[in-house]
């Protein structure tokens, strides 16, 4: 029994947009823009970053300990192609660290650890304002990998933790918020489980094809509604917790569109999952639509990460890239060294030449390949993103 995937995917998205507009409302959600952000240079003394693995500056480094006791030296720690210096220091910087360095600043994890063993603000120089953590969602503490020990402190709590420490934001803070992708992954996983059950019921003759399509529509719509709520929650946090508490130079970055990532390529390569691939994209699009809608008129700047990704994919050579489709990290090597519990994650990926724990795929170059794993950039990819973000800061007149 075959279900009409194309029909319910298109119908679900169209219905959600019509519902959001009230059917004939001329005001199109997401068509507005932020307004009123500063246009003058900032005398930045600190970078404060909230988000997930794309902004994680080393929260989970202890789990990559080469001695297995949570202490240095670490093989990884960031979700990218990590590199270890002869002194045992991990050098695998992500975009926010690069931006900080450009401004003569430094940013370190606000929290380090895995499971019950954590160290709050391990830095001694008060630079530990990197709150982004791999797996974190906007409000749900049970983020990706949480059941296995990942901290996944949600963004709403990350902001609250900063305010608990500093009481407010300073006018010299450069504040970044980049979140939403893990909510999309969580909703896509929930949709996938529902779709599998619906397909099984249809194959067993328990429901008709029309009933199956209706249930698939409902499952996708539920995910879209959850993404809308997550976006609205994030906007509320920005407005009531950051802007209302002194945040002045605030940058919000849209979640990465998944269409151009190895994650979606893997879905499309599998006949069993290919029909559902557009749903993952729809969830991110829904979040971005309501994020833009909520930020309309607020004094923040919005950076479209997808525009950057599309430009890179369209002309890789212009950015010094030779591969924008294949993960540079070898999941099998990662799992062999760190056990299957590592899941092939780039958190454990190491690009140190000649090291026994080097886990790059054969022929991979972290400086010219874009992706470290299915969604995270290599160190080279992060440098490109940080350069583009720095250009945007200049365009804003902030630096």
Least confident of 9-18, 63-72, 100-109, 253-262: 9-18
The two tokens of residue 126 are: 């008060």
Q: Strands 111-114, 249-253: parallel, antiparallel or unpaired by DSSP?
A: unpaired
Return d(Cα 9, Cα 11) in angstroms, integer. Answer: 6
What b/e sequence results for 273-308 when a residue is b if at least 16 CB atoms lie within 10 Å of its CB, and e otherwise? eebbbbbbbbbbbbbbbbbbbbbeebbbbbbebbeb
Tokens linked to 190 = 């929930």
pLDDT at 4 over 60: no
| Mean pLDDT, rounded, of the chain | 90
Note whether 182 and 136 are within 8 A (CB): yes
Radius of gyration of the chain (CA): 21
Say how far residue 347 (Cα) sits from the centre of its chain. 14
pLDDT category at 87 given cuts 50, 70, 90 is: low
What mean pLDDT do residues 74-94 have? 81
Alpha-carbon torsion 97, 376, 318, 41, what sign? negative
Does residue 223 have a pLDDT over 60? yes
In terms of Cβ atoms closer than 10 Å to its own Cβ (0-12, 13-18, 19+), residue 36 is exposed
**pLDDT for res 260:** 93
- Over residues 186-212, the mean pLDDT reads 96
399 or 32: which carries more pLDDT confidence?
Answer: 399
> Residue 172 above 60 pLDDT?
yes
34-64 residue pLDDT tens: 999 999 999 999 999 999 999 999 999 999 9
**Would you give the DSSP letter of residue 256?**
P
Overall average pLDDT of the 320-335 stretch: 96
Identify the CA nearest to 380 among candidates 99, 89, 107, 93. Answer: 93
Q: What pLDDT digit, counting tens, does each position of 383-398 carry?
A: 999 999 999 999 999 9
289-317 average pLDDT score: 96
Q: In 121-239, which ranges are E strands?
A: 173-178
Is it the case that residue 2 has pLDDT exceeding 80? no
Q: 89-93, 102-106, 204-208, 375-379 — which is least confidently predicted?
A: 89-93
Average pLDDT over residues 343-351: 93
Q: Supply the pLDDT for residue 292.
A: 97
* Residue 28's pLDDT band (cuts 50, 70, 90): confident
Residue-level pLDDT at 86? 65
With a CB cutoff of 8 Å and minimum separation 6, the contacts of 208 are 202
Which H or E element spans position 111?
strand 111-114
Query: Is the confidence at residue 66, as pLDDT, over 50?
Result: yes
**For the ranges 222-231, 268-277, 323-332, which has the lowest average pLDDT?**
268-277
Q: Quote the pLDDT of residue 91.
A: 66
Checking if the pLDDT of 23 tops 80, the result is no
The CA distances from residue 112 to 83, 124, 143, 222, in Å, are 19, 13, 16, 34
Quick one: pLDDT at residue 15?
Answer: 41
Q: What angle do CA 240, 241, 246 make, to 5 degrees?
A: 100
CA distances, 145 to each of 117, 134, 299, 343 (Å): 16, 8, 34, 10
Question: Quick one: pLDDT at residue 20?
Answer: 42
Stated as kind and residue range, the H or E segment containing 120 is strand 117-120
Query: In angstroms, rounded to a whole number, what is the distance separating the alpha carbons of residues 224 and 228?
Result: 6
Output the six-digit token pair for 368. 């010219």
Residue predicted with more confidence, 339 or 5: 339
Return the sign of the alpha-carbon dihedral for residues 7, 9, 12, 15.
negative
DSSP string over 29-85 = TT---------S-----EEEEEESGGG-SSTTGGGGBTTSSS-S-BS--SSS-B-B-
Give the mean pLDDT of 333-355.
Answer: 89
| pLDDT tops 60 at residue 135 | yes
Q: Name the least confident of 14-28, 207-221, 241-255.
A: 14-28
pLDDT of residue 6: 38
Residue percentage of the chain with pLDDT more than 90? 79
pLDDT score recorded for residue 90 = 65
């Amino acid at each position: 029994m075959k279900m009409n995937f194309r029909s319910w995917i298109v119908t679900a998205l169209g219905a959600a947009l019509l519902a959001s507009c009230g059917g004939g409302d001329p005001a199109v959600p997401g068509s507005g823009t932020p307004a009123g952000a500063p246009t003058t240079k900032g005398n930045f003394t600190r970078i404060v970053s909230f988000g997930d693995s794309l902004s994680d500056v080393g929260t989970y480094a202890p789990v990559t300990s080469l001695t297995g006791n949570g202490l240095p030296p670490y093989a990884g720690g960031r979700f990218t192609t990590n590199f270890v210096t002869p002194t045992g220091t991990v050098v695998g910087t992500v975009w926010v660290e690069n931006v900080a360095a450009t401004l003569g600043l430094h940013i370190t994890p606000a929290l380090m650890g895995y499971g019950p063993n954590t160290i709050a603000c391990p830095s001694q120089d008060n630079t530990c304002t990197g709150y982004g953590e791999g797996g974190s969602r906007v409000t749900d503490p049970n983020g990706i990998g949480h059941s296995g020990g990942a901290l996944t402190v949600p963004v709403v709590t990350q902001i609250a933790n900063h305010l608990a420490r500093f009481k407010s934001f300073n006018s010299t803070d450069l504040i970044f918020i980049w979140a939403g992708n893990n909510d999309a992954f969580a909703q896509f996983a929930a949709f996938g489980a529902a779709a599998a059950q619906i397909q099984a019921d249809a194959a067993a003759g328990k429901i008709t094809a029309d009933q199956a399509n209706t249930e698939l529509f409902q499952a996708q719509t539920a995910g879209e509604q959850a993404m809308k709520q997550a976006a609205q929650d994030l906007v509320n946090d920005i407005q009531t917790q950051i802007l209302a508490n002194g945040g002045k130079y605030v940058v919000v970055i849209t979640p990465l569109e998944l269409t151009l990532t190895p994650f979606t390529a893997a879905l499309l390569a599998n006949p069993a999952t290919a029909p559902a691939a557009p749903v993952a994209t729809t969830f991110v699009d829904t979040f971005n639509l309501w994020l833009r809608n909520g930020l309309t008129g607020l004094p923040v700047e919005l950076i479209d990460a997808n525009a950057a990704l599309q430009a890179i994919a369209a002309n890789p050579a212009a950015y010094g890239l030779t591969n924008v489709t294949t993960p540079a990290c070898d999941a099998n090597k990662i799992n062999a060294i760190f056990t299957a519990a590592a899941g092939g994650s780039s958190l454990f990926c190491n690009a140190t030449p000649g090291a026994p724990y080097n886990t790059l795929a054969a022929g991979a170059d972290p400086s010219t390949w874009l992706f470290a794993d299915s969604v995270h950039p290599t160190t080279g990819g992060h440098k490109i993103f940080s350069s583009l973000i720095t250009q945007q800061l200049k365009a804003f007149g902030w630096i």
